[in-house]
Chain A
Amino acid sequence: MGQDSPLLSIQHVSKDFYGNVVLQDVSFDIKPGEIIGLVGENGAGKTTLMRILFGMPVITETGGYQGKIVFDGHETNFSSPFDALDAGIGMVHQEFSLISGFTTTENILLNNESMKPNFLNEVFGDRMSFLDRSDMKQRAVKAIQKLGVKLNPDMLISEMPIGHRQFTEIAREINREKIKLLVLDEPTAVLTESEAEVLLTSLRNLAAKGISIIFISHRLQEVLSVADTIVVLRDGKAVKNLPSKECSIRDIASWMVGRSMTSESDAEVANRKLADEYFRVEHLWVDMPGETVKDVNFTVNKGEIFGIGGLAGQGKLGISNGIMGLYPGGGKVIFDGKEAPLNDPRKVLEIGFAFVSEDRRGVGLLLDESLEWNIAFTSMQIKNSHLKKMLKLVKIRDDASMRKLTEEYIKLLDIKCTGPSQKAKELSGGNQQKICLAKAFAMKPSILFVSEPTRGIDVGAKKLVLDTLIRYNREYGTTIVIVSSELEELRSLCDRIAIIDEGSVAGILEPTAPLEEFGMLMSGAFESNKEASHA
């Protein structure tokens, strides 16, 4: 690779969202034709860094960033992703951005079609030009060849296997003449192993033709095999930046998660005596889009706080959503010796499950209703509480009792609001989360499922929410299953932690287990070992 001047140079970039620092003095360079593997846990700052690079409006709206980005010799300041495209930076997203009713060719050349001018252009402008279908096809085929894969240029996207859709997306980016840098965000997430292998080969092809690539993936094996250089982000800092030849999967895993631990919480958590098995999951599968659960088995003891961790998209969120009947699923859930029904939200609530959803605003709250409604509603529907007889005829809502309940929880959880009748949407994220907890507590559950309890809330509120969960567990002996992307949080709270990878349990660890063990489980690095031992 020699002494070429870098194509892209990220220099001392920092970014905070209203005081919440997400990127801190990040610097690295990419040379032409180099592949950089960018790795890090969820929330490490990968997404924000890419948003800054592409000039997403959300960055300027939240106060811009510090530092400098130099692309192709010029300092850049893109005001929209289209500017970035024009400069020669392409991005392939995790979700497909394809029109499924269009052919491969039409998608590769979307809004970049070849045109034949005609007389109407004088009057109505360029959009009245004819499409030059044969030239379009040629260009598409050329892009596909450049990528080094086999794709039918006339096939509809909707009829393609998933892998081919991914290739179409990449072909669209490299079709642009000026393309110099390609960013791929988890491109192999939806691919089978053999498809992923083809993709990696074609990425090496592209790099050999001088296109630089930023490859973001949680599959460390793939990153190691394809990247020339590895950049590890952790808590907004670029903690490592070195050639891939010089590191192993185990190293990267520990760099990703490794941070100083507070030892006191460990001691407290570690020495707890727990009762017998209370809850068991066997061969659970859940069809939750983006979080598919394939085959999950675990048991939880009475009074335990059981943690479920893993990277985004691996299926950890699907577990609690599936158990609560919110997404179609199958397998066996055994609770207190009896089988609990799946696919029926009402039944599981009735036998004493309660759920705090990760989608606070979408599922967790009635944003347009009062706090009273939010907290008391589920309990009213399931337990017939907060109802009173009117004229001995019909049972109607007991507003006074709802108010009393709400005031209780406002005090107990220290919820900042103007009163029980305030609308839920007017509260801050942390206080909204407390409302969700209060809603679950009001059910007096035997087992509580909590998904991403601290997502999107600030540090102070985080601690309050976690303390509340511990207190609730200790005071009432309630069994809690907590799903979180933040490993640190799980380790400070849980008695045991299961790590989910590719839709099944990669391993269950004590919170005191060494960090790289967690990192290895998350990165799917054990998979090969497992397969080897099977054989």
Chain B
Amino acid sequence: MSGKNKLGRVLADNAVVILFILLSVIAIPFSGFSVQNILQEMFTRLGRNSFLVLALLLPIYAGMGLNFGMTLGAMAGQIGLIMAIDWGIAGWRGLVFAALVGTPLSILLGWICGAVMNRAKGREMVTGYILAFFMNGVYMFLVLFTMGAVIPVRSATILLTRGYGIRNTLNLDLVRASLDKLLMLRIGPFFIPVATYLVIAVLCVFIVWFKKTKLGQDMRAVGHDLVVADSAGIPVERTRIIAVVISTVLACYGQIIFLQNMGNMATYNAHDQTGFFAVAAILVGGASVKKASLLNAFLGIFLLHLMFYVSPRAGQNLFGSAMIGEYFRQFVGYGVIALSLVLYAWKTRRDAVFAREVLKNNGSSGHSDAAKEGAAK
């Protein structure tokens, strides 16, 4: 393979990362933000979003693509938070309570999601996406119509004035930033939410450790080749379900961490964009449908949120309209997902052709040489 070809391959394989770095480099000066400001914002956002993005990793290992069904976990987390607020449990205890309520819910939802995806092998992503929409309906029914009517709610302040159903915006003052503030460290001009970072670190350790277990190895095998794994006796469907369940539970915790940082919650919309942001982040970090690492996740969060933070202001300063920046960042978000998927699909086909070439050249080469000679004549 020639050097030029190789360079082209490297560029193509990292096209998304390179594109994003370029965009950010261009946009930062126009935004007018100071470096200090941007860095502080990045520290905050890293703490806010990392957990959610990391939740995507296991299904990717298991070959199920980007788990758009993680939204289900986010909904479970929100129900947990609603309960915590209703019971008036403040501070970090409220978060733990929310997680305790959310865990069984998200295990159940994850199991459903995994089972549904097992019935739609080869199109898990679109199925997960639609499943999230579907469950959104169920969530609305639960929160808007049964809470306060069937499910008892103690504090009337979180209910709509009609007497049942949770308000559109839920004030999370009770638990606001309770994890972030648990151990806030001040380094120079920066505030670092150490406790949040510790939780994320624990998750990273868990993921690294999980990959070393038998189950993690099975998951990799299933992800690489479903048929071979099955013929080797690995319980394929069960392994896939476990991957989705863990992902859903992590998404539940991730959403709780996300919302405690935000401080309030749009009851019926907070989960809408969860999957989108997480998926866009990990793809921007250079992950693909089949391959992702911790580095991809963190690099992606940094790049995506840098872009999201600076582009409205840059748009304002460049074109005199904040909306342009707003639309632009959404365009980039959706575009990045589309681009990564296209590049990946295209790459799979290219590799398949490449693999066949290798096979051909490898297999009893003497004859194929003769054939080529013959063709040349």
Contact = CB atoms under 8 A, between A and B. Distances in A.
Do A's and B's CB atoms come within 8 Å in the complex?
yes
Contact of B371 (A85, A106, A129, A283): A283
A131 interface: yes
Given A111-B233, A127-B214, A283-B371, A292 B221 contact: no
B228 A130 contact: no
Given A111-B234, A192-B365, A502-B364, A285 B212 contact: no
Given A111-B221, A330-B375, A162 B229 contact: no
A115 interface: yes
Contacts of B218: 111, 127
A129 B213 contact: yes
Q: Is the interface of B mostly helix, strand, loop or mixed?
A: helix
B370 A294 contact: yes
B231 A128 contact: no
B367 A503 contact: yes
B232 interface: yes
A126 B218 CA distance: 12
Contacts of B363: 162, 190, 192, 292
A432 to B, nearest CB: 27
Contacts of B374: 282-283, 285, 295, 331
A290 to B, nearest CB: 10
A21 B214 CA distance: 45
A384 B221 CA distance: 51
Contacts of B359: 162
A145 interface: no
Interface stretch (A96-104, A438-446, A457-465): A96-104
B364 A127 contact: no
Contacts of B157: none
Given A98-B228, A100-B225, A115 B360 contact: no
B212 to A, nearest CB: 5
B360 A99 contact: no
B160 interface: no
A502 B225 contact: no
B355 interface: yes
Contacts of A127: 213-215, 218
Interface string A90-123: 0000000111111000100011010100000000
A327 to B, nearest CB: 11
A161 interface: yes
Nearest to B238: A127
A61 interface: no
B341 to A, nearest CB: 20
Interface residues of B, number: 33
Interface string B203-245: 0000000001111011011001100110111100000000000
Contacts of B162: none
**A85, A131, A289: residue with the most chain B Cβ atoms closer than 10 Å:** A131
A193 B213 contact: no
Interface string B347-363: 00000000110011011
B364 A131 contact: no
Given A100-B225, A283-B375, A331-B375, A295 B370 contact: yes
Most buried by A among B224, B225, B232, B360: B232
B368 interface: yes
B4 interface: no
Q: Chain B CB within 10 Å — which of A85, A111, A130, A158 has the most? A: A111
Nearest to B227: A97
Contacts of A504: 367
A192 B212 CA distance: 37
B224 to A, nearest CB: 5
A129 B228 CA distance: 22
A516 interface: no
Contacts of A161: 362
Contacts of A192: 363-366
A285 B371 CA distance: 6
Contact of A113 (B217, B229, B365): B217
A16 interface: no
A82 interface: yes
Interface string B108-146: 000000000000000000000000000000000000000
Given A100-B224, A158-B355, A113 B368 contact: no
B195 to A, nearest CB: 25
7 contacts: A81-B231, A99-B229, A101-B224, A111-B234, A129-B214, A292-B360, A503-B367
Given A111-B234, A285-B372, A285-B375, 18 more contacts: A97-B232, A101-B224, A113-B214, A126-B214, A127-B214, A128-B213, A128-B214, A129-B214, A130-B213, A131-B217, A192-B363, A192-B365, A292-B360, A292-B363, A294-B367, A294-B368, A295-B367, A331-B375
